[in-house]
Structure 1
Amino acid sequence: MTPTATLTRLRLNPESPAVRRDLADRIQLHKTLMRLTPGTPSPHPRRDAGLLFRLETGPDGPCLLIQTTQPPRLTGLPAHYGTAQTSDLTPLLGALTPGLPVRYRITAAPVRHIPGPCYGRRPDGTLLRRRGTPAALHGPDAVTWWQRRAAAAGLAVNAATLTPHPFPRSPRSADPRGLYHHLSQIDGHAHITDPRLLVEAVCRGIGRAQSYGAGLLSLAPA
């Protein structure tokens, strides 16, 4: 059975004080968007609601793409926050087939872990290391990261264009190293190798920093 997903395109009102506040603070933006979800008690409320989002800017101003498992509660948004259009992604997910060429877009936070120092060995000879340090990836390294993650999600990348998407960093950020301050938008063409894995990745999101607006994978037939 194909999982259900709903996509909401929210055209933001730049005159709204709440919008201006949220665009300057990704933590507050995440809190605002969580008001679209049912709000049932859960240790992982964002993940359980399937909330993923991406901020885009076009000729008509800023726009949020918001994906949820169930239709969002738009009444939970602040007054005059923006205008919304919601569509059901389930038919699209059910139409994904092996070999199908697609266009894609994702905003991601490519990161690699630098191994920590060695402090011993296990009896089988395996090295014991201290906790590693994450480091943000840029340029070709970020594209290589994406190609690996896409392959694991049932998508073979044919072309990829990377555009840096930094955003204002809040002093309240839970990301003290600034790893997720510099997100990257990746656009390109690919073909599907495993629809089941791809549907799971679309619904679950790809990579880290999903609370900062990363991980939402958009697909369209090429």
Structure 2
Amino acid sequence: MHLTRFRFNAARVGARRLLSSPQILHAAVMSSFAEIPPAAGEGPRVLWRIDANSRAETYLYIVSPDKPDLTHLVEQAGWPQTGRWDTYDYTPLLARLAEGDRWSFRLTANPVHTARRTDDEPTKITAHVGVRHQTDWLLQRQQRAGFTILHKPPDRRHLPEGDEHELVIHNRRQLAFGKTGQRQRVTLMTVTYDGLLEITDPDAFRRTLTHGLGRAKAYGCGLMTLAAV
């Protein structure tokens, strides 16, 4: 497995075009591989995420079984004369993950649920729009995903309820973009979670890091990255 980071030159038209549509950026990411990546369900998949810390610091992160070649992104949306990308061997980190390890994490996800207005109406996938429901979406998946989000000490909680965890939700976005071959536009709610976690099941957690969490993985959701606490 490999972890790759690429910095966009947001002043370029090509960068703005790629960043404006998850569909276009997904195609650009997938064309970074000489061999066709495995389909979902057949092993670790290609995951990607955009981190926009500021207009001058917009990064693309990719986790993939094979090394990507981002020459086309450098030419279209980077610095062709001086820009590169960084790819690291992700396998040693994955191998040493152990129960009880604590990490800082970031995850951009598509928190949704199924709902219907009447009993005879078919269920429909609906986005969670409230912060509390978006928080609950992640908490409901943490055990199966091999981790638990740490609790705050009581003296650091600012609310009587809903503020128990070391978790911040930000960059809540409603995206709308066209999809190739379809007239109807795709709408997508994405949120970014920053927090602290403890590993409870290393094997399940490794799967989370390499297979993604939640839906809309093709559109920049599901990739969790780690940093030392």
Which TM-score band (shorter chain)? 0.7 to 0.9
Structure 2 unaligned regions, length at least 5: 79-83, 151-165
Q: State the shift of 1:106 in Å.
A: 0.1
Q: Secondary structure at the match of 2:171?
A: strand
Give runs of aligned pairs for residues 4-19 of structure 1, distance below 5 A. Answer: 5-19=1-15
What is residue 209 of structure 2 aligned with on the other side? Answer: 202
Whether 1:136 and 2:166 are equivalent positions in the alignment is no
- Distance, in Å, in 2 between the alignment partners of 1:206 and 1:26 is 17
Superposition pairs of residues 206-217 of structure 1, within 5 angstroms: 206-217=213-224
Distance change >3 Å, CA 167–CA 87, structure 1 → 2:
farther
Which runs of 5 or more structure 1 residues have no equivalent in the other structure?
120-129
CA distance in 1, matches of 2:26, 2:122: 29
Kept in 2, the 8 Å contact 1:100–1:221? The answer is: no
Q: Which residue of 2 aligns with 1:113?
A: 114
Quote the Cα distance in structure 2 between the aligned partners of 1:176 and 1:199.
34
CA distance in 1, matches of 2:40, 2:211: 13
CA deviations 1:103-153 (Å, max 9, x no partner) are 11100010011157546xxxxxxxxxx631111113011111101112211
Q: Is the 8 A contact 1:52 1:213 kept in 2?
A: yes
Letter in 1 for 2:20: A
1:64 aligns with 2:71: no
* Cα distance, 1:95 vs structure 2: 1.2
Q: How big is the alpha-carbon RMSD for the aligned residues of Structure 1 and Structure 2?
A: 2.6
Q: Counterparts of 1:177 and 1:64 in 2: how far apart (Å)?
A: 21
Pairwise CA distance, 1:91:
1.0
Report sequence identity in percent.
27
Aligned length: 205
- Deviating above 4 A after TM superposition, structure 1's stretches of 4 or more consecutive aligned residues are 45-49, 115-119, 173-177
* Counterpart for residue 124 of structure 1: none
